[in-house]
A and B are shown apart, each in its own frame.
Chain A
Amino acid sequence: MTPPAGRDGPADARHYMSDYFRLERWEIPPADGTEGFSEFGGRMPVDPHHRGAGGGLRTGALLTNLDSVGGFLSGLSVLPRWIVTTSLMATVTRLDHLGPLRVHGRVLRRGRNSVVAGLDVADEGRGDALVAAATGTFAVLDPGDMNVAFDRPAVVPMPPPTPEAPPPEEFFRIRPGVGTTTRLELAGHLRNPWGILHGGAVAVLADVAACRAVVQAHRAGRLPGRARSVEHLAAADTVLHYLRPARVGPVEARCRVFGGPDGRSLVRLAVHDVGADDRLVSLGSVLVLAL
């Protein structure tokens, strides 16, 4: 896969990932005379190549955008320092979004070492139905040489559609296959401004890997109900703990399928940086639903 515009890497790593999903973002400063932190809005279209089994935006894509909005608003709340994501916890109740999806984010708590952000998602195509909610935790760090200068209030317009945009598996360099382990190649364009694998890439990997693992479990007779293909499965609620940076790659998501009532399977994921002594970099879970 060739990144958009034929580049090997992003011109601005602060926006590259969200540009792929065409995420629009805007800062909402506190009302005049009031103290507090800016809130944030975001809007994402549901482009055809980002639709999942439910017909709406795939959860990995949704989480990437939530990470981007939550990270942006949390980062602005701690300037001149900046943040890195340490956890995302999301519940996703609809998978048949019409779109666009609109995100609203706010700082729930800003501490010395971390920021907690609350995010909710409305489907504008369904009369602003509330379809997902998430909580993100972000560790506060010294940004070093990273550029944290932004025009305020910050506004990032929605990029135009890219006709040749690849599907997520291709963009995120996820190898094809089915099974309990799914591998991602850590390409340059998947690194965030810190130079490590973007949290959104881990979210997309988790989505893909969990669905593939459920297919494998069905084939092995370890889950009740009829066997299903990936095309009939969708990731919903997701928990991700970002434990350590993934710097080297390739990165593997190794899954353990716990099962659940028919049509619902809980999958535990351990994400390892194979090239960095196979160290554990993320841990989480995905609820996979049969549709």
Chain B
Amino acid sequence: MGLGGYPPPGHFLGDIGFRTELIHETAAVGRTRVDRFVAGADGGARAGVLATLVDVVGGLLGVSILQPDWMATADLTIQLVRPALGPFVEARVELVRRGRTTMVIEADIVNVFEDGTEVPDPRGSSSPVAWSTTTFAILPGGNRTAPRDLPADLPARLDISGAGLDRPVTDMLGMSVLDAAGGRVSLPVGPYVHNSIQAVQGGAMALLGDVAAAEALGAATGLGAASTVVTDLQVAYLTLGRVGPIVTRATVLDGGAGPGGGAGGGDAPAGPVPAAGSAVVELVDSGAGDRLTTVVNVRGMAADAFGAPWEPASDGVPDRTPHQGSP
């Protein structure tokens, strides 16, 4: 069940599944399950999936704070510290500042068990796996294009659930790689990815940037996308992606090679292949005259340098099954 009729049935947010809760007038939490269908090369939830989580939870908090005004995501950053292996990941979102035209939130993202207790880090203590910020532009006067008016009293808890994922979320979204080295990836636009105003949902755009950068960085380093994990996303939303397909193009920055050179791997040994790199990914709406919709600065690194590679589901990590998409 969504909010004001959003997301509708048959939507990617429902298939990923989120459980959110307003815990204070300026704070909210939300989580999703980590499985192989949302995982990246390190076995943890992809940065783009975590961005979607933050966008959903932050959006709920934003609606709660700003009502009857509405908002649009202006920028979003997410930075991974270590793999978000779950079994669930929880975003703990707090309001940082509400201004006249913008609102800023931050979020710690932690690995949690199903009962909500934190998964200890490798040193046995509690610490976030990622940190995130989001800026929302405040749209005075409410959301005139939402399918349904919001209830006067927002529910404290909100489950967004659907049929679940039976293959990787990137496949469910219909993403297709056109040119790995150029970071060209295509995303069709339709109800499955719409936000409440019938444009592409911001989390899907971040995920598209994640996928495009992994392809481009994987090609540039020779590691391949399957061995490259995106650790940092800096997303600037410029205009809405309405027509589609949304097509990406990536520029890989010079990562150098080794200490004193590349700013990617810290103690990575000098050599011809950098252990990491960065790219700038531009997302254009190809059906709207190639209009630039989003720019994403991305950092990635070799998955085996960041965390353990993904183990198959037979190791006890549960598959996501229909109607269990929501925690």
Residues of A within 8 A of B (CB): 54-55, 86-87, 89-96, 108-109, 113-114, 116, 118, 120, 123, 126, 129-135, 137, 139, 224-225, 234, 236-237, 239, 241, 243-244, 258-264, 266, 268, 280, 283-285, 287, 289-291
Contacts and interface: CB of A to CB of B under 8 A. Distances in A.
B30 interface: no
B79 interface: yes
Given A237-B299, A243-B96, A280-B96, A133 B127 contact: no
A244 B97 contact: yes
Most buried by A among B238, B253, B263: B263
B295 interface: yes
Contacts of B77: 89, 239, 285
Given A133-B280, A266-B81, A283 B104 contact: yes
Contacts of B299: 91, 237, 287
B234 A91 contact: yes
Contacts of B297: 89-91, 133-135
Contacts of A118: 236, 280, 295
Contacts of B236: 89, 108, 116, 118, 135, 137
Chain A interface SS verdict (over half): strand
Interface in B94-145: 96-97, 99, 101-102, 104, 106, 123, 127-128, 131, 133, 135, 137
Contact of A260 (B82, B133, B278, B295): B82
Nearest to A283: B96
Contacts of A239: 77, 79, 133, 234
Contacts of B232: 91, 237, 287
Contacts of B79: 237, 239, 266, 285, 287
B264 interface: yes
B10 interface: no
Interface string B286-305: 00000010010111010001
Contacts of A291: 259-260, 266
B253 to A, nearest CB: 4
Contact of A87 (B75, B106, B127, B280): B75
A262 B127 CA distance: 16
A256 B78 CA distance: 16
B81 A243 contact: no
Given A93-B264, A131-B253, A239-B133, A259 B81 contact: yes
Contacts of A133: 251, 253, 278, 280, 297
Contacts of B137: 113-114
Contact of B256 (A89, A94, A108, A263): A94
Given A96-B260, A132-B253, A291-B259, 7 more contacts: A113-B137, A120-B251, A123-B254, A129-B254, A225-B267, A263-B265, A285-B133
Contacts of B261: 54, 94-96
Minimum-distance CB pairs A-B, first 10: A263-B266, A89-B234, A129-B254, A263-B267, A109-B238, A93-B253, A236-B263, A91-B278, A91-B297, A135-B236
A94 B101 CA distance: 36
A264 B266 contact: yes
Given A91-B234, A137-B236, A54 B260 contact: yes
